[in-house]
A = this chain, B = another copy of it.
């Protein structure tokens, strides 16, 4: 009889459960539910557009709902019994820390904090802590430069310590009563396993390493001296944090009787340590040495692994290199582009004021163009540049317009610009000794937009594979569940057995690739002139325009 695991995937607006055959990766059933609080599941503050929080109550309610729904479908569609489920895995957005009390309960459950947004989960895209992020970067540069070397050189306002420090500064009462701050990726497994003490919660190395400056080589989380330089209360908190963080091959615990009953599952089955969606998306896409997984959506996340017995140098401008963050025994390497689909949607919806129908028409028209025919090149920096420049103070650029330039030509140039951005990341990683032999893409754009994928194949001049699963993150979580349940002898074996690519592969066309080589040379010239600090006067243009803009809006 087949055995199954469940992957639970917490996205930005909804949570999904996927029931997967633990031997083959075949997906038997899935269910999804939106978060019910706030605007599309996000708690906003009219007075502060940087704020983005979520309700832990939504997370817990959604967990029960989607797992039960997925199990119901699995039963009716494939006669899968809850007893066939042998393990669970969890992936989430991040950094999304949640303040909890000494009983591991979210602070927002306390009556006095019920309406306090600081007592909720601090969603990954909350940017309230931008000042704290800058101070952490500055302090680390002075005291602990190696902290920055592993996270691309700049500590982000989206990350763990920035958010904690911002809460400490702006809501010290709440901060003082908080026993611990748990990443959503660690909180959910702890809930499933009935862990009642924060110090007993297994911390995933993915969140710890990529967002909280954890590194086993320097003794785990950042040292108390460093944190004390920020604020003595952060140093205190640090002393209560565990020494180690774990990969997905470690069980966060076993399903507790209470949740086993809620979900209708067998108590005691293992729950894997949690990790971020992109990283488990890499796992669900069949990641291994030499494979780059690109998760392409509104933005893009790039995931690679390299054996941790090999020496992996710091790669300047790459967001993070963390031992075990994707696969145990491998360095996980994360890179990304801060806007991809968002740029196309901006152009079609805001500039052209069109709808999805326009996107379809523009795609058709843009497809009829040849590379280079428009005379356009763009820089894909409408939301800054994450990799390799790690600079939010950059903006979009379009060059080459005439009196005849069409919207379809601009649309194509924007797609090409994101492909050139992707190539820049590939080149940076390869030039630092991490070869990329295969590119596997997943996400909405990769699945639906063949025109986009063909441009990527031509620009990157490599075949572009598409992940077989449409739910790679949830599948990755289910693979973690299968691993801790002992269904496979190793993570490599689990990935090999449970993942695959679609038959449709986008192969580069040599003639188009040759034109794109020429165009990329010009993208690179613009990239370096506007993006790489130096004496050339154009380097100041984007930054000064942003400063003038900020001044004009005051």
Which residues of A are interface residues toward B (Cβ below 8 A)? Answer: 339, 342-343, 346, 350-353, 370-377, 382-383, 395-407, 410, 515, 518-519, 522, 525-526, 528-530, 536-538, 540-542, 544-546, 548-549, 551-553
Contact of A352 among B352, B376, B395 (CB under 8 A): B352
Given A371-B552, A372-B552, A529-B529, A541 contacting B377 (CB threshold 8 A) = yes
Known A-B contacts: A400-B545, A522-B540. Give 5 more (CB < 8 A).
A343-B403, A373-B553, A375-B395, A382-B405, A529-B538
A373 to B553, CA, bound (A): 6
The contact sample of 20 A-B pairs, CB cut-off 8 A, is A343-B403, A350-B406, A351-B405, A352-B352, A370-B552, A372-B551, A373-B549, A375-B395, A375-B548, A382-B401, A395-B400, A396-B400, A396-B405, A399-B545, A400-B549, A515-B548, A515-B552, A525-B537, A526-B538, A529-B536
Contact of A401 among B371, B372, B396, B551 (CB under 8 A): B396
A545 to B378, CA, bound (A): 12
> Who on chain B is nearest to A407 by CB?
B351
> Who on chain B is nearest to A370 by CB?
B552
Given A526-B538, A545-B376, A398 contacting B397 (CB threshold 8 A) = yes
Question: Which residues of B sit under 8 angstroms from A373, Cβ to Cβ?
Answer: 549, 552-553
A34 to B538, CA, bound (A): 48
A375 near B545: Cβ-Cβ < 8 Å? yes
> Who on chain B is nearest to A518 by CB?
B548
Question: Which residues of B sit under 8 angstroms from A529, Cβ to Cβ?
Answer: 529, 536-538
A373 to B547, CA, bound (A): 10
A542 near B399: Cβ-Cβ < 8 Å? yes
Question: Which residues of B sit under 8 angstroms from A399, Cβ to Cβ?
Answer: 395-397, 530, 541-542, 545
Contact of A403 among B382, B405, B515 (CB under 8 A): B382
Given A396-B402, A537-B529, A540-B525, A350 contacting B551 (CB threshold 8 A) = no
> Who on chain B is nearest to A399 by CB?
B397
B403 near A397: Cβ-Cβ < 8 Å? no
A309 to B350, CA, bound (A): 57
Question: Which residues of B sit under 8 angstroms from A519, Cβ to Cβ?
Answer: 545, 548
